[in-house]
Every structure is written in structure tokens, then in C-alpha cells.
Amino acid sequence: MSEDKSIPQQTVRGRLTLRTFARNTKSESLGVYLETSDDCFLIRPASGNPFENPLARLAGKCIEATGRRSSYVFFATEWHEIADPD
């Protein structure tokens, strides 16, 4: 799945977590999720290999990311770590 440029960019904030994606299927893998105050979805860079997600190194940290969301995946074009809001 690639980034859909017809969808407007948005900025989201939340905590990165690692979870099992597509449990009990041939596609089962560890996914990087962004948990916001009202939603949770997969997040990965808009370009590059979807199976080598550099955001995994930031698991447990809070980030602000800009990009496009397509159904259950947020394709981030840029991101940076932010202070924990708690």
C-alpha cells in the first residue's frame, strides 16, 4: 500500500507502541502503532521499506507526526519526539 496524495496532510500527536499486526494470519508481524487521545493506528514512513520501520526505535515515546492517513495506516512524511503530556 502506498501513500495516497489526494488525501490532505494532517499532524497527529501520540505515543508509539509495538503490537502484533494481523494476528493469526500469514501476515502476522510486529507493527508500530500511534496511540492518540481518541484513536490508535499503524504508523510508518511514507517512503521506504514497510517492514523496516525506523519509528520502532521510538516505542514508548511521544511524537508529533505529519503525513496522510489511509484507512488504518498513517504515512508519516516527518516526525519528531515531543514531551510526554502526562
Write down the pLDDT at residue 30: 85
Of 21, 16, 18, the C-alpha closest to 64 is 16
Instruction: Please tell me the predicted confidence (pLDDT) of residue 21.
Output: 85
Q: Give the CATH fold of the 10-82 domain.
A: OB fold (Dihydrolipoamide Acetyltransferase, E2P) (2.40.50)
Q: So what's the pLDDT on residue 1?
A: 47
Instruction: Look at residue 50 in the predicted model and tell me its pLDDT.
Output: 76
Q: What does the pLDDT read at residue 22?
A: 82
Radius of gyration of the chain (CA): 12
The residue extents of the domains of the chain are 10-82
Which regions in the chain score pLDDT beneath 70?
A: 1-5
Q: What is the pLDDT of residue 29?
A: 81
